[in-house]
Amino acid sequence: MEILQYTEEHRMFRDALRRFLAKEITPHVEEWEEAGIVPREAWKKMGEQGFLAMGVPEEYGGLGADFLYSVIVTEELIRTNHSGLAASLHTDIVVPYIISFATEEQKHKYLPGCISGDIITAIAMTEPNAGSDLAAIRTTAVESGDELIINGQKTFISNGINCDLLVLAARDPSTENPHAAVDLFLVEAATPGFEKGKRIKKVGWHSQDTAELYFTDCRIPKANRLGDKGTGFLKLMQKLQQERLVCAIGAVAAAEYMLEITIQYCKERTAFGRPLSKFQNTQFEIVEMSTEARLGRTFVDKLIADHMEGKDIVVDVSMAKYWTTEMASRVADRCVQLFGGYGYCEEYPIARAWRDIRVTRIFAGTNEIMKTIAARFMGL
């Protein structure tokens, strides 16, 4: 029996999404990779077709869909072999903070735009001197009457150029406890004192508009704090379970995609008068990689089911995030080897897939941090 029980509605949604991506997204990927950003029109089209923020409750204009719809979007976007349209970041990582912690007024104000694609979101945690160690952030939020004054800098922010609304992590400098000092805030892109820096040029993820963000006496209402004061770190810890699960889902889907295009290539490419797929070394390589991908799929599907049941799977997700991204990186490297010299050429999709998978071992908490988290919960 399959671990995940997809309904006919899920299958129809996947088919519709796959057709949409083939028509509206994939034909433009090369152009977006060159430009270093996905145009806002693509986000709008995603929203118009109901492919953004599917889990938003109906009272705010959403579908109230289950998490399997998010799984489908993550998997199908991976098959477009580009990272610029970071819908999973928007839908499954940022928007849930608004659903869970914003006021009713804020939910009605922002969530409809998140669904339609009129509002693109980002989350700003990482700083030049604080990555996985969130308690070490230096960006400050100082109370001043009914306002908060924000000063600081964020870096490696995905959707940093396109974002209209930011979930920002900042600290109260008057609070000594580094964990209790952290809070989360909603910051609109048009707020005076909030400046977007230039797009960061990266080894991979070329179409993803990753940027530095600057805050200079940026004033926001106190009401823009998400939840009670001093609870930001706990909120981050609560939501990181889903963020890391999404990373693992993407890693397994990437491994499956890379195997698919590599198997096809090996069946078509000949050497010494026969297809590469007929050589024992090729067969062994593909079987070994396929085994790892299936192990990853089984592990991740079980975690998806547990997550949908509301279980605390922090340790398991930490393990999954590190293992699946390491596995996908191994698959990428071995697939490039099977492509030979062509695997190192931009015209072949495996080249982009290979360079894009590397960062997954770093973001959402480095894999070393994932192991540290698991070790701590194991009492080591």
Residues serving a catalytic function are: 243
Q: Which amino acid is at 80?
A: T
DSSP letters along 55-120, please? TS-GGGT-----HHHHHHHHHHHHTTT--S--HHIIIIIIHHHHHHHS-HHHHHHHHHHHHHTSS-
Per DSSP, the three-state class of 80 is coil
* Strand ranges (E), the chain: 121-124, 140-144, 147-157, 165-171, 182-188, 194-199, 211-221, 270-271, 274-275
Q: How far apart are CA 32 and CA 25, in angstroms?
A: 10
Q: How far apart are CA 40 and CA 143, in angstroms?
A: 34
Q: Write the DSSP symbol of residue 376.
A: H
Q: How far apart are CA 344 and CA 374, in angstroms?
A: 36
Q: How far is CA 332 from CA 75, 228, 278, in A?
A: 17, 44, 21
31 by Cβ neighbours in 10 Å (0-12 / 13-18 / 19+) ranks as: exposed
Q: Which amino acid is at 230?
A: G
Joined tokens for residue 73 = 């979007």
Q: How far apart are CA 270 and CA 277, in angstroms?
A: 9
| Length of the chain, in residues | 380
Per DSSP, the three-state class of 102 is coil
Q: How far apart are CA 224 and CA 15, in angstroms?
A: 39
Pairing of the two strands 165-171 and 121-124: parallel
